[in-house]
Amino acid sequence: MEDMNRLEMQARTKKSDLTPEDNAKYIESHIDCLGRVLFIYAKLNKGIRYVQGMNEVIAVLYYCFWKYGNEAVISTEYLESDLFFCFSNLMAELKDGFMRDMDKEDNGIHGKCKKIDDIIQAVSPPIYKKNEERENRDPVLRAQVGHAADVPGLRDAELH
């Protein structure tokens, strides 16, 4: 119970505002790892830096690395460096989707979402129809609804 209270306190408090005692008892969390990887990526890629939505990309990678039943897929000793490597390589392919100037292009976010909509329409017309009937027809916002656990399966379906 004490650990849960500490984690809740850490979530509400900026790390720089923690007392020396709180820092000494700091519990490393998943978000700490993700934050460090995103920070380093932004520092090394000044042309793109950090853009909203990158956290969703890295979270899926992290989930895939971390979760396999109840054990880590990759040794936790190297998880952060492996995560950075994979995220950097994936972003080399996806970065056009995170650049505002590219939004309306085929390689931009709207073009990529259109491709996904086309795949859904071909693979599952009922799901496509349901998406079209929704109040919010913006494919970018529709892509954000769902559960992280479903994303690897959706990605596999997209690739096949």
Residue 158: per-residue pLDDT: 46
Q: Are 6 and 25 in contact (CB under 8 A)?
A: yes
Report the distance separating Cα 102 and Cα 109, nearest Å: 8
Query: 36: which residues sit within 8 A by CB, 6+ positions away?
Result: 80
Please tell me whether residue 68 adopts helix, strand or coil conformation. Answer: strand
Residues 4-53 pLDDT 10s: 887 788 778 887 888 888 878 887 777 888 999 999 999 998 877 777 77
Q: How confident is the model at residue 79 (pLDDT cuts 50, 70, 90)?
A: confident
Average pLDDT over all residues of the chain: 76
Residues 81-103 pLDDT 10s: 999 999 999 988 877 666 666 66
